[in-house]
Chains A and B, each alone.
Chain A
Amino acid sequence: MAVFVLPDLGEGLQEAELVQWHVSEGDNVVADQPLVSVETEKAVVEVPSPYSGRIARLYAKPGERIRVGAPLVEFDEGPRADTGTVVGELAAAAPPAAAPPRGAEPVAAKPAVRAAPAVRALAQRLGVDLAALTPSGPNGTVTSADVERAARAALAQAPAEILSGVRRAMALNMARAHAEIVPATVVDEADIEAWPPKTDVTIRLVRAIVAGVAASPGLNAWYDGRNMERRILPQIDLGIAVDTEEGLFVPVLRNVGARDAADLRRGLERMKADVRARTVPVAELRGQTITLSNFGMFAGRFAALVIVPPQVAILGAGRIRAAPVVADGRIVPHRLLPLSLTFDHRAVTGGEAARFLKAAIADLERAE
């Protein structure tokens, strides 16, 4: 390492102030190249490099005073590293990594099924296992025909039937309902512990609906989505869902709000007989303003039921069960009747639905 000191600047000057460096550490300079400007009393003087070489170190900063003979610049000896480029930086090779550990013996590959991507997508949709098929395409390729044939065979156990009659009507109505209605469901349970034995559940539910409509008339309405018209109906014509071998019937019990229990009972009995005999007049299958589904007769606690337009509400009653409740600070078993109120949120608010339900439950929880 050769150190270049501040040379004698003449005129008996012992020191100078460093004004500005003209080179940086790492620079390669040649002899006579100005290294630095220093200020003497008389002038700003450029100090040239004594020889060619690489600057390893600069010994002072601008503004500092340096004495003549003090170290100014340290030169690096030794050859300059070859960058191997004129532009950019070339990364040097990393030392070779240790040889990677030998892996386990390769497992013999299963022969892949040959099938076009669209055929694979089809098989996935139809739930067909490609590997189980006998391919009929060239070079053992599975074709879409192969896939479709396999799918049909799987379904061959179940005979297809074209829907007709009541089932057909249900299919069409439910599809239409799904397309139009915006359903929301609120559920709760009525504590019917107070009921005397042999209480007619259906009649009580009908009465509860009447109470609910009285509290929230908006649930006994028809809504026309196309024209955005809501018609609150003065009369409650209650549709009652009846399950038969042929399918779902929803005959109408007219004007339930104005009839007493006995009258309602008679009407219900006649309705059931007609349904069984398949003699329900067509007119009695239309015009429901709100519907009751007592599915709890079979099983199920709560359900989000389907509203058939133009109705806006359906009340579902689930299976009555004994359950622990808190009464007077103690846990006691009471009979509970689960209720699910599904309403069309285009026409009915949550508040209206809740008020309906509250009134219905209040009515149900009365002993008589």
Chain B
Amino acid sequence: MPEITLVEAVNLALARAMAEDPEVLVLGEDVGTEGGVFRATEGLQKRFGDERVIDTPLAEGAIAGISVGLAAQGFRPVAEIQFTGFIYPVIDQLANHAARLRTRTRGRLSCPLVVRSPYGGGIRAIEHHSESPEAMFAHIPGLRVVIPSSPARAYGLLLAAIRDPDPVVFFEPTRLYRAVRERVEDDGEALPLDRCFILREGSDITLISWGAMTRETLAAADRLAQEGIAAEVVDVATLKPLDSDTLLESVAKTGRVVIVHEAPLSVGVGAEIAARLAERGLVSLLAPIARVTGWDTVMPYPRLERHYLPSETRILDAARRVLAYQ
């Protein structure tokens, strides 16, 4: 079993899903001949043909809209939005239609579509290419928001997303696309949605994160371990619906929490997690919940990017403050 990168795992999962289910389609800009600007759809059109891997004209809103029509007709479209900076028009079709088609027709019509998009910063890209808008999507009822943090989880979660009967937005951390290699078995096994993953067990402090920030979070956990502190690292993976049980179990164990996300602070998904932990885990808490996040500013141009993204140092600072809290 070779070691593959996250983007290769996405490719593997797409190929697998398309081989298993003739209703799975891939569509988007430059996904066919070009194989996707990040090569996520490399080789798919050659293998499955241009009626299953479709190069669309340049229109993100319509890409999402035609996916709604295709899905209502029983196909399983996997639409690529080339960069999350271009995903905002898609919110219209997801919020107004995909996420509510099942409920407004009482189940007569439904929308098993996936919108996947490279997301997040740290790749020194031009503006608009480093967005983290996951909170906007997580706020839409009827939608699922899934963010893998490793090649194996990208494979398993994408398969789950494609097989899910409801619309899923699948954000792929661009920074991790090629940064990590891992053995991934192409066994068609999906990972569970709506479930957090414990990346590392510990009983002194809980570090909660998702996407590319799990790397800095794990690095911080390593440093803490050297100081004799056992940090538990949780990858949320499905931001909506949230697996409160796993998070609460961890807090009951440690009593101390740091949430790490690169999206801006205010009204981020970290706020939702903190609210739930406070609502139901209050008497477990030994210190206030800390959040280490991007600032409430526009993601700066690349020259200042490293001052925006949460660093291992910022995470460690927060963790130590939380541990020291009396």
A residues touching B (Cβ–Cβ < 8 Å)? 116-121, 136-138, 141, 143-144
Contacts and interface: CB of A to CB of B under 8 A. Distances in A.
B283 A141 contact: no
B287 interface: yes
Contacts of A137: 326
A118 B255 contact: yes
A264 to B, nearest CB: 59
Interface residues of B, number: 9
A141 B287 CA distance: 12
B326 A121 contact: no
A116 B289 CA distance: 12
Interface in B215-265: 255
21 contacts: A116-B285, A116-B286, A116-B287, A116-B325, A117-B282, A117-B283, A117-B285, A118-B255, A118-B283, A118-B284, A118-B285, A118-B286, A119-B286, A120-B283, A121-B283, A136-B326, A137-B326, A138-B326, A141-B326, A143-B326, A144-B286
Q: Which of A116, A121, A141, A144 has the most CB of B within 10 A?
A: A116
Chain A interface SS verdict (over half): helix
Contacts of B282: 117
Nearest to B278: A117
Contacts of A144: 286
Contacts of A120: 283
A117 B287 CA distance: 9
A137 B282 CA distance: 19
Nearest to B287: A116
Contacts of B284: 118
B160 to A, nearest CB: 36
A138 B326 CA distance: 7
A34 B286 CA distance: 76
Nearest to A138: B326
Contacts of A138: 326
Contacts of B325: 116
Given A116-B285, A136-B326, A138-B326, 18 more contacts: A116-B286, A116-B287, A116-B325, A117-B282, A117-B283, A117-B285, A118-B255, A118-B283, A118-B284, A118-B285, A118-B286, A119-B286, A120-B283, A121-B283, A137-B326, A141-B326, A143-B326, A144-B286
Contacts of A121: 283
B324 to A, nearest CB: 9
Which one of B282, B283, B287, B326 has the greatest number of beta carbons of chain A within 10 Å? B326
A182 B232 CA distance: 42
Pick the 8 closest A-B CB pairs, nearest first.
Answer: A137-B326, A121-B283, A143-B326, A117-B282, A118-B286, A117-B283, A118-B283, A117-B285
B223 to A, nearest CB: 24
Nearest to B286: A118
Contacts of B283: 117-118, 120-121
Nearest to B255: A118
Nearest to A116: B286
Contacts of A143: 326
B320 to A, nearest CB: 14
Nearest to A121: B283
Contacts of B286: 116, 118-119, 144
A136 B326 CA distance: 9
Contacts of A116: 285-287, 325
A113 to B, nearest CB: 14
A143 B255 CA distance: 14
Contacts of B326: 136-138, 141, 143
A141 B326 CA distance: 7
Contacts of A136: 326
A307 to B, nearest CB: 37
B115 to A, nearest CB: 29
Interface centre among B255, B282, B283, B285 (most CB of A within 10 A): B283
Interface string B264-288: 0000000000000000001111110
